Amino acid sequence: MRLFRQMQLCRQVHGLTRGQWRRIICICLVTVVLPLKAGQDRKIDTVFQYSAINALLAGVYDGDLTLESLAEHGNTGIGTINGIDGEMIVLDGVFYSIKSDGLAYKLAPGEKTPFAVVAFLNAEVESVLKETSSVDVLTKHLDTLIDAHNAIQVIRIDGSFTQLTLRSEPKQTRPYRPLAELMAEEQVKFELNDVKGTMIGFRMPDYMTGLNVPGYHFHFITDDRKRGGHVLNLQMISGQVTLDTQRGFNMVLPNIPLFNEAMLGSDREKELESVEQN
Ligand SMILES: [Zn+2]
């Protein structure tokens, strides 16, 4: 009311008619207030990441974030669960872990993760993939579809595969070893032949070393949601690619002694390469 009285006073002081005054209010609304509101509403597609890859490499295999909380930030993603109990894949809002027996287990909302990346996938680029003989051929092809190499790409590929080489790892107990040691000693590889399924992954810019895996990182699950794993190699007959460039990055760090006391500053690029590609 006070504002209204002040506006009335202002109109009288300047000797404006009601029509002139209304026009001024309209111009103010269109040029100042509405653009401000639109700016507030502008949605930035944001990838959500919990913890840093260097923490996982250092053996921080527990976290304090539940999958229920993680689901608020995305319906598509990858990661693992506490104790590094398998390779996690999130698609259409459902969480699975592919454990060391190669089987996919649907995860409960109360499970916790030590490392995960999720996003809400919006189909920005859709492309059909023809016969693809390896993961290298696939990623080279994806590179040609991506303009924004310094932004984050969320990737989904639904396809028919003649062969997939996948891996997982058994659940760990404390004290945890560094990830490269664990993988060298206990990684379990599986081969799948003639299956249909979905790959979910990200392409992270090179400058994100230490935070995430630079380049491509894919997890896979079969159409019947029974098998899968971290993708090491593949042969594909055909596939449908969905790409989504995201420019927001929201990173949340664990608050547990294991994370708080870990030494995370060292260069772990070589360890990461041995973990991701072997
Ligand atoms: Zn993985």
How many Å lie between the centroid of ligand 1 and the Cα of residue 179? 12
Residue 22, pLDDT > 70, answer no
Both 122 and 189 in one domain: the answer is: yes
Check whether 32 has a pLDDT greater than 50.
no
Residues ≥6 apart with Cβ < 8 Å to 75:
90, 91, 92, 93, 118, 120, 121
As given in the structure block, the two tokens for residue 123 are 């189909």
Same domain, 27 and 95: no
Task: Tell me the C-alpha distance between 11 and 272, whole Å.
Answer: 69
Q: What is the per-residue pLDDT across 96-152, written as a single tens digit (0 to 9) for each?
A: 999 999 999 999 999 999 999 999 999 999 999 999 999 999 999 999 999 999 999
Residue 86 shares a structural domain with residue 21:
no
Contacts of 21 (CB under 8 A, 6+ apart): 11
Q: C-alpha 125: how far from its chain's center?
A: 17
Q: What is the CATH number of the domain that holds 71?
A: 3.30.1330.80
Q: Are residues 16 and 82 in the same domain?
A: no
Please state, for a pLDDT cut of 70, what percent of the chain lies above it. 85
Average pLDDT over the chain reads: 90
Same domain (yes/no): 63, 16 = no
Confidence band for 26, pLDDT divided at 50, 70 and 90:
very low
Whether residue 41 is predicted with pLDDT greater than 80 in this model: the reply is no
Which 3 state secondary structure label does DSSP give 218? strand
Centre of ligand 1 to C-alpha 164, Å, is: 14
Instruction: Give me the residues near ligand 1 (ion), CB cutoff below 5 Å.
Output: 230
- pLDDT bin (cut points 50, 70, 90) of residue 271 is confident
By the 8 A CB rule, do 80 and 114 touch?
Answer: yes
Tell me, yes or no, whether 244 and 213 share the same domain: yes
**137: domain range?**
46-277
Distance of CA 36 from the midpoint of ligand 1 (Å): 42
Number of structural domains found in the chain = 2
Tell me, in angstroms, the distance from the centre of ligand 1 to residue 79's CA. Answer: 7
Average pLDDT rounded to a whole number, residues 1-9: 55
